[in-house]
Amino acid sequence: MRTAVYVRVSTARQAQAQTIDQQLDRLRVHLQAQNTALDDSAIFRDDGQSGATLNRPGLDRLRDAVRAGEIDQVLITDPDRLSRNYVQIMIVLQELERFGCEVAFLDRPIGRDPHDQLLLQIRGAVAEYERTLIAKRMRRGRQMRLRAGSLLPWTRAPYGYRLDPDRPRDPAGVRLEPAEGAVVQQVFARYVEEEASLFGLANHLRALGIVSPTGRPRWSSASLRGLLTNPVYTGQVFAGRWRSRPPRIRRSATHPIGCPSTTSVPVPAEQWLPVATVPALVSPALFAQAQAKLAQNRAFARRHNTRYSYLLRALVSCGVCQSSCLCRTIHPGYDYYLCRAKGHPGRSGRAQPCPARYAPAHQLDALVWQDLCALLSEPELIAAALARAHGGGWLPQDLQARRDQLRKGRRGLEQQVERLTEAYLQGIIPLPEYQRRRRVAEEHLQALAAQAEQLEGQVDRQAQLVGWAGSAEAFCRRVQDGLAGADFAQRRRLIELLVDRVVVTEAEVEIRYVVPVGPDGERGRFCQLRKDYFDFPAPGIPIQLLDGLLRTVHEQVGDQSPVDRWTILWRVGLTCV
């Protein structure tokens, strides 16, 4: 009789503690007592594999060997080593028996007696119950340690950080990696610039020779988005940023129904669990600016409309329910802006469809463009707002911090090269290893030098922005000259620059022009799109009424608004269908 054994442990820690060898020793002693030989090829083991699934390499090889007729008997210490799910235990046992293989358990031999079969079923159910208890206790234990700030929510450090190898889950052991930290700062600073995108940022990093966190020459947009949305770079570690739920759709026709069994969805920021603080790489203001830019690029993405051109694409909101408006062409020449809540209520998250009517796109586009031209004919109002906001110095404070970070990174790499040279001269490392490490360090030094050169160029551009902000009137006059002959692309670019939002109600239109002039304005775009345009209802103070144009200046009220805003409201009649 050809006999094989199967052993399994659930976690990598149990595998390191060699508890699987204890199972194997017991099985060998039992076989020796019965004068049965055991070959190494007949040992099937799964180190660190969960008993909740049958997708295990060792078990798969065992089942294949039984199907091929190579094994007549399988010896296992306990049924829960086979699986912790009763149904899965019975499936595997029936499969093995169907191919003529006998299964024996060391702790409690099971015979053909009905009482033994009942006992096997009970033990399988108890094993499944124990697994549920273990998972619950582990989860509660992790939550307690996370709340106490003594356990990191991740086992692999984010890009730019390193963990203590002796205590990889200890928050106190997190430290900065200077070279990668400089890259992180460069990514945030470049992304918040005007017309920056994830794809352009990936090309920029590739041109600098900066490899991805996995060592590839090109960064993916998903990796950059994950980096830009990770709050750990502000110095705060959070847990519970994602939760699992059953999938709503079947991802592929080749996937079995119910696979994958769960999918991850983001959790609102107010429900995150703060764990610990680590060294910060970016300021909270710059991080918030990057999140707003990500939302802006998502809203303005060209993939949302590739067939028709709309002047106010992604800028129109419904004044009835405060939802954003979609662009739709019913027939050629009949274009409309319609509230996205008018469709299926579930898609908009509302109980009932919005009652707002369709807004003719041609009329609304012409109305907004005409008002913008009228605004640019009176540039002294914009110039006064910018002069009032930019009365102080313009140079951003984090430019110096980024300079210092780059110097630290270069200094650390230079010291690394010196240590490598000393180790080679003392005979500690061989020549090929020395050459390889030195080449990698020199490539990082070249990348940091390129970043430093670009940083100095940013300082020059910031100085140019000061002069541009101080000459807003000249800017408006320069734009006025081309207003009459502007094509669609030029009109769209100007509207993106100066129009914050167009709110359409049943009988009137509200146009919001915005210029960021707060303390963080110099690190962002000239016109900055916000996630929610109804969070800052600062009271308006009417100062002049000219030909139906109501001009209102919005001043900052306490800490409610992140930037001072200069807003013009114009309410006129609009025919809707």
Q: Catalytic residue numbers?
A: 10
Structure tokens at 105: 């358990």
Largest CA distance in the chain: 106
Q: Are 381 and 566 in contact (CB under 8 A)?
A: yes
Q: What is the DSSP letter of 180?
A: H
**DSSP β-bridge partners for residue 324:** 317
Strands (E), 163-287: 175-176, 236-239, 242-245, 263-266, 273-277
Alpha carbon distance 361, 334 (integer Å):
8
Q: What is the DSSP letter of 77?
A: S
Quick one: which of 340, 292, 293, 345 has its CA closest to 320? Answer: 340
How many Cβ atoms sit within 10 Å of the Cβ of residue 51? 23
Alpha carbon distance 197, 568 (integer Å):
30
Q: Are 355 and 323 in contact (CB under 8 A)?
A: no
CA atoms within 13 A on the CB side of 4: 23
Q: Are 515 and 385 in contact (CB under 8 A)?
A: yes
Q: In one letter, which amino acid is 327?
A: C
Scan for tokens 């907004």, then name that residue.
368
Q: Are 538 and 561 in contact (CB under 8 A)?
A: yes
Sequence-ordered list of residues with C-beta below 8 angstroms from that of 381, at least 6 positions apart, any chain: 551, 566
Quick one: which of 455, 432, 435, 453 has its CA closest to 443? Answer: 435
